[in-house]
Structure 1
Amino acid sequence: MENQFKDFYDVLSENLESYQGEYASFIDHGPKLFKLLTEMLEENSISKELRLEISAAIAYYVVPMDIIPEQVYGPYGYIDDIYITTYVIKRIADELGYECLKKHWKGKGNLESVVEECYDKSLEVLEDKTDIILSYVGLKE
């Protein structure tokens, strides 16, 4: 029997596909936002600094015991991942505009609206944890 390896995006999608909880309206965007960041690494116009921020946000998804670990909290544990992802996407948009990002967006809905919704709702849930999350990956001192 041959092992079939799954892309992390596929694992992430499977983990969240049946989630119907309180935060489903924005947690459901997590896999597509993750995929957007991975696609942005292929964009030649991304600066070295932004590449490092993108890589930090991607790594945060993969780290098993981050600030709100999925292994402990289930889908709720993706809220901090979504926060850092949208934080970095907003930084990319500030530097390059949303048009550059939209070329790689495979999710449902208007990208800018999705990013704003996910960012705002994750801020509401995380409250004072955002500085800790950004510091964890070196995006804030």
Structure 2
Amino acid sequence: MADQNDFKEEKEVEIEAEILEEEKYEDFYQKLRKKVMTWLNSQNAKDNKWASYLIAAPDLFYLMVKLVMDKEVETDQKVKLVFALAYFISPFDLLPEAVLGIVGYLDDVALTAYVLNDFIAKTDETLIRKYWLGEGDILDLIKKIISTTDEMIGSGLYRKLIDKLNKKVN
């Protein structure tokens, strides 16, 4: 069991070093926020029933970055958060942003909600509230996203995301 924990910690450190370079994550966060704000002013946003979730995407990303950097967060939770961050940044995911635009972040938002919900179940919610920059209550948002994920991205796609996460972290 120690070997698996050592491996997780080692992997986490490698990924953290790559993803969490301050400039890198700040740059991604700022670019994503700008894309979302531009999209928000378009007709596509007005007609999209998932707009409120997409608007929260940059803040969800920021929240995960802050949680990964927090010393109080357990390693097993950090591993899941790092996976979700890597998925957010990756151009190669199940709903590619390069093809779908902002709507391509719906799978990222769904995965983030799943990981944060797991985090809340195992950790004090105070940390999540501490770093939440978005509007409204983060716990309500997570519950809403999870309750509509099957409709939002499809149950098959959602299952693939969760399976992908579980293979990486277990």
| CA deviation after TM superposition for structure 1 residue 140, in Å | 7.7
Equivalent position of 1:48 in the other structure: 75
Q: Which one-letter code corresponds to 1:103 in the other structure?
A: K
Equivalent position of 2:164 in the other structure: 136
Structure 2 stretches of 5 or more lacking a match? 1-22
Structure 2 CA distance for aligned equivalents of residues 79 and 56 of structure 1: 16
Structure 2 CA distance for aligned equivalents of residues 30 and 133 of structure 1: 17
Equivalent position of 1:69 in the other structure: 96
Structure 1 CA distance for aligned equivalents of residues 77 and 92 of structure 2: 24
Instruction: Please report the TM-score for the alignment, with normalisation by the length of structure 1.
Output: 0.88
Task: Say which one has the larger Rg.
Answer: 2
Structure 1 CA distance for aligned equivalents of residues 82 and 104 of structure 2: 19
Equivalent position of 1:33 in the other structure: 60
What whole-Å deviation, never above 9, does each CA across 1:18-71 have from its counterpart, x for those lacking one? 231412121111110110000001222211111110000000011102011001
Instruction: Please report the TM-score for the alignment, with normalisation by the length of structure 2.
Output: 0.74
Q: Which one-letter code corresponds to 2:160 in the other structure?
A: I
Q: Relative to total residues, which structure has the larger helix share, 1 or 2?
A: 2
CA contact (8 A) 2:80 2:115 kept: yes
Structure 1 CA distance for aligned equivalents of residues 34 and 146 of structure 2: 22
Q: Which one-letter code corresponds to 1:120 in the other structure?
A: S
2:108 corresponds to 1:81: yes
| CA deviation after TM superposition for structure 1 residue 121, in Å | 2.7
Structure-2 change in CA distance of 1:24 and 1:71 (3 Å): same
State, as a whole percentage, how many aligned pairs show the same letter.
22
2:138 corresponds to 1:111: yes
2:112 corresponds to 1:92: no
CA contact (8 A) 1:69 1:77 kept: yes
Structure 1 stretches of 5 or more lacking a match? none
CA contact (8 A) 1:16 1:28 kept: yes
